[in-house]
Amino acid sequence: MFTLISYKRLGKPIILLFSQKLMFMAGIYIHIPFCKHKCNYCNFFSVASIKYRDVFVDALLREMEMRKDYLKNELVHTIYFGGGTPSLLTIDEINTILAKANTLFNINADLEITLEANPDDLSLDKTEDLKRYTPINRFSIGVQSFFDDDLHYLDRQHNGTQARHAIENVQKAGFNNMTIDLIYGIPGLSLEKWHKNLDIFFDYHIPHLSSYSLTVEPKTALQHQISKQKRAEVDEELSIRHFEILLERIAQNNYVHYEISNFAKKGFYSKHNSIYWLGDHYLGLGPSAHSFNGHSRQWNVAAIKKYIDSDMVDKMVAEKEVLSVNQLFNEYVMTSLRTSWGCDLEHINNVFGSSYTAFFTGSVKGFIKEKKIIQNGNRFVLSKTGKLFADGVAADLFVDDDF
């Protein structure tokens, strides 16, 4: 299936080659919007109550039915339970949701099924039951730090010991595919402590790491606490130093830095997140989840009651945006530059045409001179310095609306 989009500048449609590839990779994201407690830095949609939990699963199954044609029978390679806290789901709920997906979508036999989990939910009994009774085959554990004072700063409910036990329990239960999240840039996270967090990660031989700089999002409790001087301010210089250390240690330990915040041993790249980074199609289910089909993006309502009461897809969708060629180009530049595969000039030429190629070639020159981007033939990748300014560099390579 090819997606034809109007290519205004040449006055003729072009074939999105990117979309041609999309036939082979699609994913389903399922947002589980419950948490035991709201962490101060978090701006994901979730509620600290399980009041609507039973009816929520029914609503989710209903949404799956209503949107079963969204992926147009494309082969689904990944299902990702994100949140919120998907590890609050029971074995029965997980299996009911997956069984429904199996009846409605074209599911690949070799399916990656990830469950995001909080350390305090991962007892040995629970992980063994998940292994024995569900097809979950990958965990994403929200460790954030192995130090209690950092976890206290972030208002997390677990402690460092629980984080270690969670990893050990997942491994004991027989899961070999797992990632953990570690946050750097936390005030009080000294360089020594950051090294120690990474030591623990390497010592467990975990095959994948997602590591992010602490960002103080608007309207979060953390922003309020900082403004009231109840929490220390985030120090950007410290954060940059942490990132530099991370890159050094990751390289020394033979992990591939395949996306700006993601690191993996060969064979353990996140298939699901790669769908986002490579511009593939995905269906997002649950409140606040978003979906992309190659030319438009849509967001579900970020409200539990409204979501549960929606008996039609239109009532569930809060916003829909059809992407222009310029937006698709900018998204390609942004996501590809964040990956180790980089931005491909041939792809730009094939998909977007010669004027975009000329624009990119002209605007990237300055960054090559500043040594923020390295050119390897037709591919452009961020240098070590460039990675520190990834979003800013990409934004400077965007075309304007009136291009």
Positions touching ligand SF4 (CB under 6 A) are 35, 38-39, 42, 44, 46, 83-85, 118, 142
- Closest C-alpha to 231, from 182, 183, 186: 186
User: Tokens 């299902």, residue?
Assistant: 79
Nearer to ligand SF4, 74 or 116 (CB): 116
Nearer to ligand SF4, 56 or 367 (CB): 56
Nearer to ligand SF4, 44 or 341 (CB): 44
Nearer to ligand SF4, 5 or 180 (CB): 180
Question: Least CB distance from residue 160 to ligand SF4, whole Å?
Answer: 16
Whole-angstrom distance, CA of residue 380 vs CA of residue 388: 16
Question: Least CB distance from residue 121 to ligand SF4, whole Å?
Answer: 10
Contact 90, 98 (CB under 8 A): no
Question: Least CB distance from residue 259 to ligand SF4, whole Å?
Answer: 20
What's the CA dihedral at 34, 37, 42, 47 to 10 degrees? 40
Cα atoms in the 13 Å half-sphere on the side-chain side of 285: 26
Which residue number places its CB atom closest to ligand SF4? 42
Question: Least CB distance from residue 14 to ligand SF4, whole Å?
Answer: 40
Nearer to ligand SF4, 160 or 386 (CB): 160
Nearer to ligand SF4, 46 or 326 (CB): 46
Which pairs count as long-range contacts for 106-109, CB under 8 Å and 24+ apart, including other chains?
Answer: 106/71, 106/73, 106/74, 106/75, 106/76, 107/75, 107/76, 108/75, 108/76, 108/77
DSSP state of 351: H
Question: Least CB distance from residue 53 to ligand SF4, whole Å?
Answer: 15
Question: Least CB distance from residue 39 to ligand SF4, whole Å?
Answer: 3
- Closest C-alpha to 282, from 130, 114, 117: 114
